[in-house]
């Protein structure tokens, strides 16, 4: 099975390959300039920077969640300016356990670019093992290319589709937030605490080992064993970002077609009439 992850060792071997483009996705929620400032300080040689809120999301509205999907024609143009076209192998990294890099990975998969990967272990592991001369302050200026998106519409579901699927046999909803938010015990980000009725809680960091590396395929199969036999798996989180590492991990575990509810909880709870569940689901 082809993986959606690459190792530090693989990237070291291919760092100077002109068909490989490295993308820095570091971003700290609540401190929106910190990721770019970190990139300016140092980054993997040749990496270009993509910002979660400026590049990988569109502006927040009354509905649609805190990080709505970006305008795809604008993103395609930015990808072209970053030297990315259909022939490019793209490796994304962050220093947030893969959450931001997975959002970038998911968007490119959604736009039909299968040759997109996440760097296992992220920037911290790279700085430990990448080798001398592979970290720089120098800003890369790649030769522009033309990125032609081929949107995979079946990778995403709308709020109306989620409503129609609640309680449907063969469909499972996964909530990727930490348990206190899922259970409705506390909610520091969105105005309502709780979860979509029927959703199961798989906190996204459960896919990582104690060293912050992605778990092996067999461990991920065990982790998701309750849902791998389902006809349809729909994943959400707070705003459609940390659902993406769970989607990548599901694919690593062998589930080929997980779907994203991109608006996620922040969209769901923006409608006062939507039902809200608290506590554990059986």
Beta-strand runs (E) in the chain = 5-6, 20-24, 43-44, 48-49, 89-93, 116-119, 135-136, 156-157, 171-175, 200-201, 232-236, 259-261
**Is the Cβ–Cβ distance between 238 and 209 less than 8 Å?**
no
Query: In the beta sheet, which residues pair with residue 200?
Result: 174
Set 25, 237, 244, 269: catalytic member: 237
- Per the annotation, the verdict on 244 as an active-site residue is no
Enumerate helices (H) and strands (E) in the chain, giving the number of each: 10, 12
Cα Rg of the chain (Å, integer): 18
Cα separation of 57 and 243, whole Å? 14
Give the residue among 82, 104, 83 at the shortest CA–CA distance from 92.
104
The phi-psi region of residue 205 (left if phi > 0; otherwise alpha if psi is between -120 and 50; otherwise beta) is alpha
Enclosing H/E stretch for 81: helix 72-81
Cα separation of 63 and 263, whole Å? 8
Task: Specify burial of residue 121 (Cβ count, 10 A radius: 0-12, 13-18, 19+).
Answer: buried
Q: Which residues are catalytic?
A: 237
């Amino acid at each position: 099975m082809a993986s959606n992850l690459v190792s530090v060792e693989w990237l070291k071997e291919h760092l100077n390959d002109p068909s490989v483009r490295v993308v820095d996705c570091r971003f700290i929620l609540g401190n929106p300039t910190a990721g770019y400032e970190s990139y300016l300080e140092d980054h993997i040689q040749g990496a270009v920077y993509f910002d979660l809120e400026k590049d990988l999301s569109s502006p927040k509205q009354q509905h649609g969640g805190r990080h709505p999907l970006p305008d795809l024609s604008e993103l395609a143009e930015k990808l072209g300016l970053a030297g990315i076209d259909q022939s490019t192998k793209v490796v994304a990294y962050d220093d947030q356990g893969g959450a931001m890099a997975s959002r970038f990975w998911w968007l490119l998969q959604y736009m039909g670019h299968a040759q997109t990967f996440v760097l296992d272990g992220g920037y911290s592991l790279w700085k430990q093992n990448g080798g001398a001369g592979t970290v720089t302050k120098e800003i890369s200026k790649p030769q522009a290319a033309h990125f032609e998106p081929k949107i995979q519409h079946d990778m995403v579901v709308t709020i109306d589709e989620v409503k129609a699927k609640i309680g449907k046999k063969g469909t499972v909803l996964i909530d990727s937030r930490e348990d206190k938010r899922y259970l409705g015990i506390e909610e520091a980000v969105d105005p309502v605490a709780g979860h979509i009725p029927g959703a199961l809680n798989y906190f996204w960091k459960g896919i990582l080992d104690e060293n912050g590396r992605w778990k092996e395929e067999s461990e991920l199969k065990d982790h998701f064993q309750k849902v791998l036999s389902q006809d349809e798996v729909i994943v959400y989180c707070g705003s459609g970002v940390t659902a993406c590492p769970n989607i990548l991990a599901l694919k690593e575990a062998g589930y080929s077609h997980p779907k994203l509810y991109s608006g996620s909880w922040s969209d769901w709870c923006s409608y006062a009439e939507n039902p809200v569940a608290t506590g554990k689901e059986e």
